[in-house]
Amino acid sequence: MKKLALFLGLAGIVSINLPAWAADAGPTAASALAKYNEKKYVESADAFESVLKTSPPSVQLCYHAALANFAANRRGRSRQLCQYIVQNFGTTREANFAKKLFPELAVAPKSETKTEDKTKTADAQTGESKSKSTRKKKSDDDDEEDAETPKFAIDKNARRGALAFTPQQIAADGASGIDQAFNPNCWFEASMAALAELPKGQRLIASMIKIGDANTYIVRFPGDGQEYKITEQELSKVGVSDKSLWAALIECAQVKKFPDNEGSRDISIGMGCITGCKAQSINPTKESAQELSSFIAGAVSSKNPIICATDAGFKTASLPDLVVNSHAYTIIGFDAASGMITMRNPHGKHSRKYTLADDPNHRKFEWVGKGVFKMHISLFQKYFDEVCRSFI
């Protein structure tokens, strides 16, 4: 917590008085601030998330929510909010504070980038590339560059109504093309990630996005006659940070289809929206390990999408922090012999890394990287209260 205390001291907000934006956002914002000042950081972060679902994403609201999440040790979510601030409110003091909290969000000046490019060119011409010897080794959770809103580009030679992406392009990115950012829509992003990992799902995603006019993509969800036209301006306004353009376009359409995050009450809504098929759900806490194993294996073995959601109550059950509470995950694998379920957090590379201290051999929990981890089915039943699948 030393880093947090130092940062808050620099920002001059060790204790937060009730600002005007909080009054405008309603009593929940005031309650969130009160819990923050009482050092109830987890409760404060949860309260801010509720406010973000129903209030305009002002820079002050996002910034205070980022601080609460940082103090609650939810660094991935805090970073996402800070990234949103830097991208959309870059000239504000909050953006400067966000860069201090996460220095990697401070983009290097263009002049430095050009110098680096020239150096690489010279090395290539002389055959004396130094990249291998000087490049800092990155961990499994690092990417070559920070996630940004993907470049909006339309093939000018493509005819209107043609598919914008092929299944092969979706497959090349897979779930790694999806990084949940500002929008609290894990209930949808987890399902999109599930499709992106499966051959049938990749074909389904490709069929959803078509070329509009010279400046527009058109997204249509299966079984939904509504067309969602996505422009570059709309994509930027929504605040997505998915690595892949196809994922950002679909997420933008989802935000338009479900204003005020209306689908967040049930993960089956997201599954039904993106597959066009009815979803089946069970509660792991009320099923035997054998029945749960059969339910999960049925989807995984047949290569159909399956997701799950954590129980908000596990925080009060004296269980170690291994997952985010009230959050959806994608199930991407299951080993019935070992009982290990492989899952992915839609936060992707920004996910918080967890470890289980009393499990050195990883028989119950193993962190893989970039939001992917394995959990034994016996633990799964303690943390998750819903599993949802669909056959496409």
pLDDT band for 253, please (50, 70, 90 cuts).
Answer: very high
Based on the number of CB atoms within 10 Å of its own CB, is 329 exposed (0-12), middle (13-18) or buried (19 or more)? Answer: buried
Asked if 365 and 359 count as a contact pair (C-beta separation under 8 A), the reply is yes
Q: Quick one: pLDDT at residue 60?
A: 83
Based on the number of CB atoms within 10 Å of its own CB, is 337 exposed (0-12), middle (13-18) or buried (19 or more)? Answer: exposed
Domains in the chain: ranges and CATH: 2-105 (1.25.40), 167-261+268-275 (no CATH), 280-389 (3.90.70.10)
pLDDT band for 108, please (50, 70, 90 cuts).
Answer: very low
Question: pLDDT > 90: what percent of the chain?
Answer: 42
Please tell me the pTM assigned to this model.
0.67
Q: Quick one: pLDDT at residue 81?
A: 87
Query: Which letter, b or e, does each residue of 71-93 get, where b requires 16 or more Cβ atoms within 10 Å of its Cβ?
Result: bbebbbbbbbbbbbbbbbbeeee
User: Is the model more confident about 225 or about 29?
Assistant: 225
User: Is the model more confident about 200 or about 132?
Assistant: 200
* 238: phi then psi, degrees, rounded to nearest 5: -65, -30
Distance between CA atoms of residues 298 and 338, nearest Å: 17
**What is the average per-residue pLDDT within 94-118?**
62
Q: Quick one: pLDDT at residue 260?
A: 73
Chain centroid to CA 251: how far?
A: 11
> Is 134 a residue whose pLDDT tops 70?
no
> Is 337 a residue whose pLDDT tops 70?
yes
Q: Quick one: pLDDT at residue 127?
A: 38
> Is 13 a residue whose pLDDT tops 60?
no
Greatest mean pLDDT among 155-159, 175-179, 292-296, 352-356:
292-296
pLDDT band for 317, please (50, 70, 90 cuts).
Answer: low
**Where are the extended beta strands (E) located within the chain?**
209-211, 217-219, 228-230, 280-282, 306-310, 328-335, 340-344, 365-369, 372-376, 384-389
Asked if 257 and 360 count as a contact pair (C-beta separation under 8 A), the reply is no
Q: Quick one: pLDDT at residue 294?
A: 96
**What is the average per-residue pLDDT within 387-392?**
94
pLDDT per position as a tens digit, 183-220: 788 999 999 999 999 999 999 999 999 999 878 999 99
Distance between CA atoms of residues 48 and 30, nearest Å: 10
**What is the average per-residue pLDDT within 307-317?**
77
Q: Quick one: pLDDT at residue 27?
A: 53
Asked if 70 and 4 count as a contact pair (C-beta separation under 8 A), the reply is yes
pLDDT band for 154, please (50, 70, 90 cuts).
Answer: confident
Q: Quick one: pLDDT at residue 147?
A: 44
> Is 121 a residue whose pLDDT tops 80?
no
Instruction: Report the range of poorest mean pLDDT among 119-133, 177-191, 226-240.
Output: 119-133
Residue 81 token pair = 């909010």
Q: Which of 284, 285, 335 is nearest to 307 (CA)?
A: 284
Q: Mean pLDDT over all residues of the chain? A: 80
Q: Quick one: pLDDT at residue 107?
A: 58
> Is 313 a residue whose pLDDT tops 80?
no
> Is 272 a residue whose pLDDT tops 80?
yes
User: Is the model more confident about 228 or about 1?
Assistant: 228
pLDDT per position as a tens digit, 71-91: 887 877 888 888 888 888 888
pLDDT band for 341, please (50, 70, 90 cuts).
Answer: very high
Q: Which of 241, 200, 234, 198 is nearest to 218 (CA)?
A: 234
User: Is the model more confident about 6 or about 280?
Assistant: 280
DSSP-assigned letter for residue 197: T
Q: Quick one: pLDDT at residue 9?
A: 40
Distance between CA atoms of residues 165 and 174, nearest Å: 13
Tracing tokens 């949940």 back to the chain, one arrives at 180
Asked if 227 and 220 count as a contact pair (C-beta separation under 8 A), the reply is yes
